[in-house]
Amino acid sequence: MSRKALKERPITIPQVKETLEAVGEERLDQFQRRSLDYAAKFSKVDPSMAETLVNKLVEQFELEEEEAVQITNCMPESIQEIRVFLASGRRIMETSKLKRMLAFLDEYRKRE
């Protein structure tokens, strides 16, 4: 039986981790186990906060959902790093707005 995707949308690495953990490691195939391992190592925020963070980045900073997901995945620590994610849209954002975004990201950053 083939499966057909009903809708496609980007999700964050923490959301991937949460989804794969919900399936249960014993039920995962080799590729899914590797994906879970990657997601566990590279999640930069708690899964419960990832979707909220993406939504707020879209609303407050007028980002595309894909940009917000990538920023959430990488949690840039400088204005220069944030600009990398915005370069694809050829959009210029004021430095003051980028500083506000950086301070906003700091509120959600996973404490290690």
For the ranges 5-9, 56-60, 65-69, which has the lowest average pLDDT?
5-9
When comparing pLDDT for 63 and 109, which is higher?
A: 63
Q: Do the Cβ atoms of 80 and 86 come closer than 8 Å?
A: no
- The per-residue pLDDT of the chain, averaged, comes to 91
The model's pLDDT over 17-48, given as tens digits with 9 standing for 90+, comes to: 999 999 998 999 999 999 999 999 999 998 88
When comparing pLDDT for 112 and 50, which is higher?
A: 50
Tell me how many helices (H) and strands (E) the chain has. 6, 0
- Separation CA 59–CA 22 (nearest Å): 29
